[in-house]
């Protein structure tokens, strides 16, 4: 068991592709390495599979990239890296110190020489009337439930939102015996076609996307473009979903509403980087819509603006597994240089090649995120009674009124109306609030800025905090 | 009740969970959330401000909409907790 005040050469936060690839390279050297992840199993959001203790899933055939990923997971588990799963990072402090809450609900203070953030991304939401009803899920939840626990959220469901992930989730649902009532994609079909030439050097991704689309078209599932969810209705849980047509600016065309009877709806609107921990550490951030919003600013060696802190994977720009593997490698070699384990001369040719590869990944990032462009009009059209902050039950009306009173930055808005003050700490609504401020105040995201972040990052019990004052 | 468990998985260890005192079937390795959904529970808690019914949204520990009381400890994310035999779960549906 790990003791309080332990010190490591390298602490890695997040065990997705970037984290485990970096850990694997670092483990070949005489270094003390700690890998921390909040989830039950390591591997991040993409590398999920039916756990051994649950059972055998012989039908499951992971695609090539996931096979590579699972090999990394196994290697990392079998070498001398210390792994803390079910462990949350709750604070980052000066003097190379972090605070974590372990699986046994104890807080521990740890020290590092180098800290690598590989905290990944979470889903982006676009609120609509009734989205708080039980039965409205994210497309990520649909995937997680099937992949990690072998359970479908319902036998029949509707999928809506934007981007290729809707098709990936729909494909899995069909494969597992679900009945898909339809896919409602907010952007037009041409947006996807425009994107294809950019994939010429990313053949694996192209083939994968094509497979999802083909399977869904062949199954006869209705796929509708330029459709958005207007309302989810039901008494105690979801009973019907109202969908309408949108124009090319994202505005609803009145009179086009159609109602679907269903008890389950999965929605997905792309991804936002998990930048809260690097933000607290003082790392400089930059806003780039084409990278998924606010990201951690890094140089070619993936160093952040804070000494001895690096960042890799989705937090430097949402781009999927290939980019995360590439950045995991770059981060590992940069760390070896910084710790003077490898001379810069030996790693230079390798890093040069990896940096060149990274440029290709970054060009993919740009097109990938353009698919998820949430149009200003769809933010402005959110009806007044729609709940924006689910935890504190704050409506669009209250937010608009408070902005009109002069609270035109996230922190004063939060103080006045309590949005983003609940249990999720704004993880769900903050990106929406930033978009609302951007759309209503006609200010750039840089001008609007971000919520300030304070420890603890995640709700933690008083008992766990008792041993250390924050 | 509909069977929401994927057929083609050969499951190993059947366990029991107590949901508001009522026994439900689960399998070792499932999350508490998955077991609750498979048992037909959609609504898991009431929003503390509006008292509206709420259920899981993200399934990966971000949104805190699936929090329940597990073995007496309140506000536990059911999506981040492995089901254990005879776990006592309190939900507010």
B60 closest CB neighbour out of A53, A144, A422: A144
* A456 upstream amide cis, omega within 30 of 0: yes
Residue B9 lies in a domain: no
Is the pLDDT assigned to residue A50 strictly greater than 80?
yes
Residue A143: how many CA atoms within 13 Å on its side-chain side?
Answer: 20
Does residue A467 surpass a pLDDT of 80? Answer: no
pLDDT: which is higher, B47 or A215: B47
Tell whether B46 is covered by a domain. yes
Q: What token pair was written down for A415?
A: 């103080």
Please indicate, yes or no, whether residues A290 and A364 belong to a single structural domain of this protein: yes
Has residue A453 been placed in a domain?
no
Domain's final residue, options A268, A302, A323 = A268
Which of A163-167, A355-359, A421-425, B48-52 has the least mean pLDDT? Answer: A163-167
| Inside any domain, residue B36 | yes
- Cβ separation A55–B27 shorter than 8 A: yes
Here the tokens at position B87 are 């776990």
Q: Which of residues 14-73 of B touch A (CB under 8 A)?
A: 27-31, 33-35, 37-38, 42-44, 47, 49-50, 52-65, 67
Together in a domain, A411 and A285: no
Residue A306 lies in a domain: yes
Q: What angle do CA A38, A44, A47 make, to 5 degrees?
A: 140
* Domain membership flag for residue B8: no
Whole-number pLDDT of residue A249: 84
pLDDT of residue A203 exceeding 60, the answer is: no
CATH number at residue A299: 3.50.50.60
Spell out which residues of chain B touch residue A132, defining contact as CB-CB under 8 Å.
47, 52, 54
Give the CATH number, domain containing residue B51. 3.10.20.440
Mark whether A292 and A382 lie in a shared domain.
Answer: no
| For residue B91, cis peptide bond before it (omega within 30 degrees of 0) | no
Q: Which residues of A fall within a CB distance of 8 Å from B51?
A: none
Query: For residue B25, is it within any domain?
Result: yes
Verify that A324 and A351 share a domain, yes or no.
yes
pLDDT at A60 over 90: no
Task: Please indicate if any CB of chain A lies within 8 Å of the CB of B82.
Answer: yes
Tell me, what's the pLDDT at A204?
A: 56
Contact: A134, B55; criterion CB under 8 Å: yes
Q: Which 8-state DSSP code applies to residue A305?
A: S
Structural domain includes residue A460: no
Residues A231 and A346 in one domain: no
Q: Do B29 and A149 touch (CB under 8 A)?
A: yes
Nearest by CB to residue B82, choosing from A40, A59, A123, is A40
Give the span between the Cα atoms of A375 and A123, in whole angstroms: 17
CA distance A348 to A330: 11
The parent domain of residue A432 ranges over 376-448
Asked whether the predicted pLDDT for residue A470 surpasses 50, the reply is no
Domain of B67, in residue numbers: 15-90
DSSP string, A6-18: -EEEEEEE--SHH
| Chain A residues lying within 8 Å of B24, measured CB to CB | none
Other CB atoms within 10 A of residue A265 CB? 29
User: Do A174 and A227 belong to one domain?
Assistant: yes
User: How does pLDDT run across A317-370, given as a tens digit for each residue?
Assistant: 999 999 999 999 999 999 999 999 999 999 999 999 999 999 999 988 888 787
Q: Looking at the domain assignment, is residue B39 inside a domain?
A: yes
């Amino acid at each position: 068991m790990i003791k309080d005040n332990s010190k490591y050469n390298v602490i890695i936060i997040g065990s997705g592709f970037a984290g485990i690839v970096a850990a694997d390279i670092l483990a070949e050297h005489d270094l003390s390495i700690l890998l921390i992840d909040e989830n039950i199993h390591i591997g991040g959001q993409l590398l999920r599979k039916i756990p051994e203790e649950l059972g055998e899933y012989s039908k499951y055939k992971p695609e090539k990239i996931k096979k590579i990923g699972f090999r990394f997971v196994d290697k990392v588990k079998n070498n001398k890296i210390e792994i803390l799963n079910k462990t949350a990072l709750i604070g980052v402090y000066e003097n190379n110190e972090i605070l974590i809450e372990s699986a046994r609900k104890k807080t521990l203070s740890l020290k590092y020489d180098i800290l690598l953030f590989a905290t990944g991304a979470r889903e982006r939401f676009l609120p609509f009337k009734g989205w708080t009803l039980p039965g409205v899920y994210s497309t990520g939840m649909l995937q997680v439930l099937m992949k990690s626990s072998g359970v479908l959220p319902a036998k029949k469901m509707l999928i809506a939102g934007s981007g290729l992930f809707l098709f990936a989730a729909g494909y899995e649902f069909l494969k597992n015996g679900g009945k898909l009532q339809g896919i409602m994609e907010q952007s037009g079909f041409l947006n996807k076609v425009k994107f294809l030439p950019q994939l010429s050097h990313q053949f694996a991704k192209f083939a994968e996307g094509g497979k999802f689309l083909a399977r869904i078209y062949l199954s006869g599932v209705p796929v509708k473009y330029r459709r958005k969810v207007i309302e989810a209705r039901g008494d105690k849980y979801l009973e019907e979903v109202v969908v309408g047509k949108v124009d090319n600016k994202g505005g609803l065309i009145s009179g086009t509403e159609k109602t679907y009877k269903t008890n389950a709806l999965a929605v997905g609107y792309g991804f936002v980087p998990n930048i809260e921990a690097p933000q607290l550490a003082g790392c400089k951030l930059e806003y780039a819509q084409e990278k998924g919003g606010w990201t951690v600013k890094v140089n070619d060696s993936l160093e952040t603006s804070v000494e001895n802190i690096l960042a890799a994977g989705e937090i430097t720009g949402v781009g999927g597994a290939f980019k995360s593997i590439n950045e995991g490698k770059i981060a590992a070699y940069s760390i070896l240089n910084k710790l003077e384990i490898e001379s810069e001369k030996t790693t230079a040719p390798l890093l040069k090649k990896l940096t060149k590869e990274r440029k290709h990944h970054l060009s993919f990032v740009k097109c990938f995120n353009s698919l998820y462009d949430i149009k200003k009009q769809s933010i402005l059209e959110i009806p007044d009674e729609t709940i924006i902050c689910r935890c504190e039950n704050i409506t669009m009306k209250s937010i608009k009124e408070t902005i009109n009173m002069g609270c035109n930055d996230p922190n004063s808005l939060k103080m006045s109306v309590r949005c983003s003050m609940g249990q999720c700490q704004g993880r769900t609504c903050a990106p929406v609030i930033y978009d609302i401020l951007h759309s209503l105040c006609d200010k750039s995201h840089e001008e609007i800025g971000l919520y300030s972040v304070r420890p603890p990052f995640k709700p933690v019990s008083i008992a766990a905090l008792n041993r250390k004052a924050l | 009740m509909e069977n929401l468990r994927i057929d083609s998985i050969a499951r190993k260890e059947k366990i029991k969970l107590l949901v508001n005192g009522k026994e439900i079937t689960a399998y070792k390795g499932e999350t508490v959330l998955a077991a609750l959904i498979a048992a037909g529970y959609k609504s898991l808690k009431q929003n503390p401000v509006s008292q509206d019914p709420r259920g899981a949204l993200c399934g990966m520990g971000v949104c805190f909409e699936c929090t329940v009381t597990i073995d007496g400890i309140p506000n536990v994310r059911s999506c981040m907790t492995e089901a254990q035999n005879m776990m006592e779960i309190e939900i507010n549906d």
